[in-house]
Amino acid sequence: MPLVNLFGSKGRLVLSALLFCAVIFELAHCQKEAQEQRTTPGRKPKSSKPKLGKSTNKGPRAVTAKPKIKATSAQTFLTQVFKKGKFKKVGETISVQTGDTLELRCRGKPVQWSVPTYLEEDDDGRLRTVQHERYGVLTLVNTTGADTGEYSCYPMYCEDTDCRKEYDKAVKVFVFFPDPQELFVPSSDYYEAIQLRTNWPTLLPCQVTSPEAKVTLHREFPLVEVAVDGTEISFNVKRGFTIHRPRPYHAGALYCVASLGNLRQSSTKYMLIYVNYPMAPPAPVIQASSGSLTVGGDLRVSCSVVGEQDVLVEFNWEYPGQRIGRPLNTQESITPVGGGAARQQSQSVLLVEEVRDVDQGTYTCTAHNLLGDKSVSTTVTVVPKAKPKKP
């Protein structure tokens, strides 16, 4: 789920920078800025919610693999261990009362665990993993609502000291820690900026601590409850709200409200910003006014891209005259394209006046949009002027 990465703690900084870029259309410059921001240490969320998709390279908490051990090929499964030595095989979700201890046992030798990112980052000694001969055990004590999230176990396949996760055998359980005071997994941010991209699902990650909480979606201006029909917008108790096909009217300040018993609480605010996003990298078409022209003639090389309306396309040129310092002379234009869907043609025309021998060669146009680049080339031959015929 690459999209979810956008909501990682560090990703958010990058995202806000990118959003800013989309507004001022200085992408190359802004993307650089976003890169720089990524390296700036941000405020560390103290009790933030488990972030889905993280951007650190720190691996999940690992149980050091024992060398020369091969994982059993038996099916992996996860059991919850209760007091008095009771066991229960877990389903897709479980609820553990806050303050209680979560103990999970996973068959495999060895196994690796992955836990909500916030637990990985804030090592406060509450989480422990131990590898026994046939199984691994994860123990989390003094639990709070903030520990709500996905816990997974990966059996490891080892050859000598080389171990790798057996992803296809991973077992996951989503653990809720219903908190009588906090219906939402706490977040350190007062608000979160989220990009609404054309035709890409957008997640509002308001995560509840109890699967019993009733969650609704609200808009701030004007103050209304947003209809959640399950098609355009849907709710998943393990993820939050998803806007499946974002449109400009979805933009604005939204927040979730959870109710359980007498408690009613609001989530972090989500600032949804609509960005016209292309469906694909550009597909430029290049055409020279002539493939062969005489010295002194004028050359026009056009490069055009047909794409979604209001999606910015940038052009870059490489041409033989660059070697001798011929300045870049281009004319750029955008014209609507007829037909059903809202499409436009972006075009850059390279003009070479009074061509010389040095203008002969390959002309390359590179078109760029938010999803990528594509280059196309054409070659042009320059022929000497025909000598006037002697009588």
Ligand X SMILES: *[C@@H]1O[C@H](CO)[C@@H](O)[C@H](O)[C@H]1NC(C)=O
Q: In the complex, which residues of this chain contact ligand X (CB under 6 A)?
A: 125-126, 141-142
Rounded Cα distance, 287 and 376, in Å: 10
Shortest separation between residue 99's beta carbon and ligand X, angstroms: 8
User: Would you say 85 or 125 has its CB closer to ligand X?
Assistant: 125
User: Would you say 138 or 272 has its CB closer to ligand X?
Assistant: 138
Shortest separation between residue 104's beta carbon and ligand X, angstroms: 17
Shortest separation between residue 187's beta carbon and ligand X, angstroms: 22
User: Would you say 33 or 100 has its CB closer to ligand X?
Assistant: 100
Rounded Cα distance, 43 and 52, in Å: 18
Shortest separation between residue 127's beta carbon and ligand X, angstroms: 9
Shortest separation between residue 182's beta carbon and ligand X, angstroms: 18
In the three-class reduction of DSSP (H, G, I as helix; E, B as strand; rest coil), residue 334 is classed as strand
Q: Tokens for 388, please give them.
A: 């006037």
**Judging by beta carbons within 10 Å of its beta carbon (0-12, 13-18, 19+), is residue 91 exposed, middle or buried?**
exposed
The number of beta carbons lying within 10 Å of the beta carbon of residue 29 is 11
User: Would you say 30 or 104 has its CB closer to ligand X?
Assistant: 104
User: Would you say 98 or 369 has its CB closer to ligand X?
Assistant: 98
Q: Which residues contact 129 (CB under 8 A, 6 or more apart)?
A: 61, 63, 113, 136, 137, 138, 139
- Residue 154 near residue 163, CB atoms below 8 Å: no
From residue 67, alpha-carbon distances to 70, 131, 164, 170 in Å are 9, 13, 12, 20
Shortest separation between residue 113's beta carbon and ligand X, angstroms: 17
By beta carbon distance, the residue nearest ligand X is 142
Q: Would the CA dihedral through 59, 65, 71, 76 be positive or negative? A: negative
Shortest separation between residue 148's beta carbon and ligand X, angstroms: 18
User: Would you say 111 or 127 has its CB closer to ligand X?
Assistant: 127
Which of 4, 10, 92, 11 has the alpha carbon at shortest distance from 52?
Answer: 4
User: Would you say 95 or 144 has its CB closer to ligand X?
Assistant: 144
